[in-house]
Structure 1
Amino acid sequence: MKQQRSLITGLIFVLLVMLITACGTSKADNAGNAGNTAQNTGGNTTGNTEKKSEATTDEQRVISTLKGDLSIPTDPKRVIGLSVVYPEFLYALGVTPIAVQNYHPEFPSYLKKPFKDTLKMGIGQAPNFEAILASAPDLIIAPTWWSDKDYDQLSKIAPTVLLPQRDDWRDELRDIGGVLGKTDVANKVIQDLQMKEAQAKEKLQTLAGDETVLYMMIMAKEIVIYGEKSDRGSFIHKTLGLKPIKEYPQDEISLSISLEKIPQYNPDHLILQLDDDSSEEVRNRYNDMLSSSLWKNMTAVKKNQVHMMGGKEWFSLGMSPLADDHAIDDVIHAFEQ
C-alpha cells in the first residue's frame, strides 16, 4: 500500500513538471511572437492603425477651416464653388466645377467651352440643394458671408469649406488654392496677370495718352458710372492707367445718373457695358439713350470712341483673374481700333 502511494505521488510529480514546462514554453512563444510583432511595427502596438491612417492620408487630408479641422479629398474630382465668381477661381486653378451658380443664362465666352458639361443652378437667396445633391460633389467651397447659414445642410451633402470674406480677389484665389493644395498655382496666376497688366498699361499710354476715359454700365432701371474706388473703376484707371474725368466725385464708388446728367460727364473715351444684353429692359434703356441728342453730343460719341464691352464677359471684372485677363485683351483691341 505504501509502495502504491509512492508510485502515485511520483506520477503526480512528473505530471506537474510537464505542465509547468508546457506553460513556460507557451509564454516564451507568446513573448517571441509579441517581440516579432513589435519589431515589424517599430515597437508600436498601433501599427495596423497607423498603416490604415497612412492609406487614408493618400486619399484624404485634414485642413483648418472657419468651422474647425475638416477632412477633405486630397485630389477632389467633383467640386462645386458656391459663388458666381468662385467657378472662375476654380478654373483658373485648373479645376472645372461640376455645377455653378450663374447670373446670366449663358457663360461668358472664355468659359463657354470648358463649362459645356457644367450644370447651371441659377442664383437665389439660398443654394439649390436639390441640384447640389444630384451633382454628387466630393467637395463644396463657399464664402462664409453667403453660405454660413446653410453650412449644416451643405456639409451633409459633402465636405464643405467656408472661406472668409476678402476685399481683394487675389486673397480669395490664394484661399481656394490653399484648400486644393494649389497655392503655387494661385501665385503663378497672379504673377502672370500682373505682368500682362504692366504690358497693357504701357501700351495704352501710347494709344490713349492723356485722353480721359469713363466707364458706364446700362442697367434695367438706371445708368451707372464707376469711379476709381470701385473694383471695375480701379481696373480701368489704376491697373490699366486710363485717365479718369475730373468731374467724377472722388469719394464715390459708383454713381447712378439719369440721361439728363450725361453731359456733366463728358470723356474722350467711353467704355460702355450692358448689364445683361439679353434683357429687354436693358436693351430698351440703351436704345433710348442712343436716340437722345444729349448722347449724340458727347465728345466720345462724336469722336467714335465709344467702346462696347460684353455684359457676360465683363460681369466679374475686377473680381476674377480670368475676367481681368480677357478684359485687358478687349480694351487693347478697342483702343487699337
Structure 2
Amino acid sequence: MLGIMLVIAVACGKEESANTDENSAASEEASSDTTKTITFLDKDYEIPSNSTKIVAASQEAMEDSAVLGVKPVGAVATGGEFPAFLGDSMSEAEEIGDKFQPSTEKLLQLKPDVILGTSKFQADVADSLNKVAPMIPISHISTHWKDNLLVLAEITNKTEEAEKYISDYEANAKETKTAVTEKLGDKEVLMFRVRNGSITIYPESVYFNPVLYTDLGLTVPEEVKAAKAQEQISLEKLAEMNPDYLFVQFEDSENQENKDALKDLESNAIWKNLNAVKDGHVYENVIDPMAAGGTAWSKTNFLAAFKKELGL
C-alpha cells in the first residue's frame, strides 16, 4: 500500500510541476504580448505594445507628432499655449506644464503609455517622469531628426509614412543643393536668433544649421564651427563675420525685457554696413521663431521658405 501511495504522490508532484511550468510559460508569453522593446539611439526601451496614449513632453516630439498625424493626450506649452504653427495637431492634448519640468501630478492623471521627453531634461526630472511611464529622451541635436521621427513612427505603427517623409525631404534638399551651389557659390550664409536681446548663434549640428551647412552644402562660418553650444556674440563680432545672407529669428516671448532689441539692432550703423543688409539679403522669421529647428517639420518648412526667399 505504501508503494502505491508513493507512486501516486510522485505522479501528483510531476503533474503539479508541469502545471506550474505551463503557467509560468503562459505568464511570460502574456507579458511579452503586452510590452515590446524599441531601440532609440542605441538604447532599449520597454513600452506597452499598443501605445495609444502618448505625451509629447518636448517641442521636438510635438513637431514630429504633427508630421505623422499623431494626436498626443498631453503636451508642453509656452505661456499656457501650444504653438499655433502646429495647427490642430495638439487639439486633443492637455497642457502638462513647463518644458523644463512637466507636472508629474498632471501626467499621473493622464496615465500615458509612453512619454516622449527631451535629452535636455535634468536627471531628476527624467527619473520622476519614468516613474509615471516609460520616458524616451527625444534628442535635441538636429542631426538625430530621422531617429526622432522613426521612433515615434515605430510606436504608432507609422513607419511607412515616416520613411516617405524623410525620403521626400532628402530628395528636395538634394535638388535644392544643386541650385544653391549655382546661385550662391561660396557666399556665406548665417542664421541667428535674438534671445534676451542678444545675437545668438548655434553649433554646426544644432538648430537649423544642418539644413544650411549639411543638406545644402553651404560654407560653415568659423565662428559656427567653434561654437560648442548656443553662444552670444556682439554686433561687432557679427560685423567681423560679415555674412552675405542673414536669416534672423525673433520671438517676443524670448525677449520680454528687450522687446525692441531687433529694431535697435536694425537702426545701428554697424548693422547697416553689413554686406547682407546692404544687398537686401536679410530674411526675418521666414519660419515661426518658436520652431525647434532640428526636426522633420522644421527642416521641411525652413527649406521651403529658403527656396522661396532666394527664388530657387
Distance 2:55 2:86 in 1: 15
Amino acid of the residue matched to residue 110 of structure 2? S
**Could you tell me which residue of structure 2 aligns to residue 62 of structure 1?**
36
Distance 2:23 2:246 in 1: 69
User: Aligned pair count?
Assistant: 294
Give the alignment partner of residue 301 of structure 1, picking from 271, 277, 280.
277
Distance 1:225 1:44 in 2: 66
Give the alignment partner of residue 196 of structure 1, picking from 163, 169, 172.
172
Distance 1:49 1:313 in 2: 55
Amino acid of the residue matched to residue 73 of structure 2? I
Distance 2:139 2:190 in 1: 29
196 and 313 in structure 1: CA distance in 2 versus 1, 3 angstrom threshold: farther
Say if 2:238 is the partner of 1:262: yes
**Could you tell me which residue of structure 2 aligns to residue 328 of structure 1?**
303
Q: 8 Å contact 2:57–2:99 — kept in the other structure?
A: no
Q: Deviations over 1:157-210 (max 9, x none)?
A: 4x3243486853222333343444444444333222211211222233344344
**Could you tell me which residue of structure 2 aligns to residue 75 of structure 1?**
50
Amino acid of the residue matched to residue 302 of structure 1? K
Q: Deviations over 1:110-143 (max 9, x none)?
A: 4123223423334254221232233342332334
**Could you tell me which residue of structure 2 aligns to residue 162 of structure 1?**
136
SS in 2 for 1:270: strand
Q: 8 Å contact 1:121–1:131 — kept in the other structure?
A: yes
SS in 1 for 2:108: helix
SS in 2 for 1:201: helix
Q: How does 1:87-236 map to 2 (within 5 A)?
A: 87-103=62-78, 106-123=81-98, 125-143=100-118, 146=121, 149-150=124-125, 153-155=128-130, 157=132, 159-163=133-137, 167=141, 168-169=143-144, 170-226=146-202, 228-236=204-212
53 and 93 in structure 1: CA distance in 2 versus 1, 3 angstrom threshold: farther
Instruction: State the 1:277 CA deviation.
Output: 5.8
80 and 196 in structure 1: CA distance in 2 versus 1, 3 angstrom threshold: same
Instruction: State the 1:230 CA deviation.
Output: 3.8
Comparing 131-140 with 92-101, greater Cα deviation is found at: 131-140
SS in 1 for 2:117: strand
Q: 8 Å contact 1:139–1:160 — kept in the other structure?
A: yes
Q: 8 Å contact 1:274–1:282 — kept in the other structure?
A: no
Amino acid of the residue matched to residue 105 of structure 2? E
Instruction: State the 1:270 CA deviation.
Output: 1.1
TM-score normalised to structure 1 length: 0.70
Amino acid of the residue matched to residue 149 of structure 2? L
Higher RCO, 1 vs 2 (CA within 8 Å, ≥6 residues apart): 2
Instruction: State the 1:288 CA deviation.
Output: 0.9
Instruction: State the 1:292 CA deviation.
Output: 0.9
- Structure 1 runs not aligned, ≥5 long: 1-42
45 and 107 in structure 1: CA distance in 2 versus 1, 3 angstrom threshold: closer
Amino acid of the residue matched to residue 266 of structure 2? L
Amino acid of the residue matched to residue 79 of structure 1? I
Q: 8 Å contact 1:108–1:313 — kept in the other structure?
A: no
Instruction: State the 1:328 CA deviation.
Output: 0.7
Distance 1:69 1:273 in 2: 36
What RMSD over aligned residues (CA atoms) do the two structures have, in Å? 3.9
Amino acid of the residue matched to residue 243 of structure 2? P
TM-score normalised to structure 2 length: 0.74
Q: 8 Å contact 1:173–1:186 — kept in the other structure?
A: yes
164 and 185 in structure 1: CA distance in 2 versus 1, 3 angstrom threshold: same
Amino acid of the residue matched to residue 195 of structure 2? M
Instruction: State the 1:152 CA deviation.
Output: 6.0
Instruction: State the 1:156 CA deviation.
Output: 5.2
48 and 115 in structure 1: CA distance in 2 versus 1, 3 angstrom threshold: same
SS in 1 for 2:208: helix
Instruction: State the 1:250 CA deviation.
Output: 3.7
277 and 244 in structure 1: CA distance in 2 versus 1, 3 angstrom threshold: farther
Instruction: State the 1:332 CA deviation.
Output: 1.0
279 and 120 in structure 1: CA distance in 2 versus 1, 3 angstrom threshold: farther
Q: 8 Å contact 2:71–2:90 — kept in the other structure?
A: yes
Distance 1:172 1:285 in 2: 34
Amino acid of the residue matched to residue 63 of structure 2? E
Q: 8 Å contact 2:64–2:295 — kept in the other structure?
A: yes
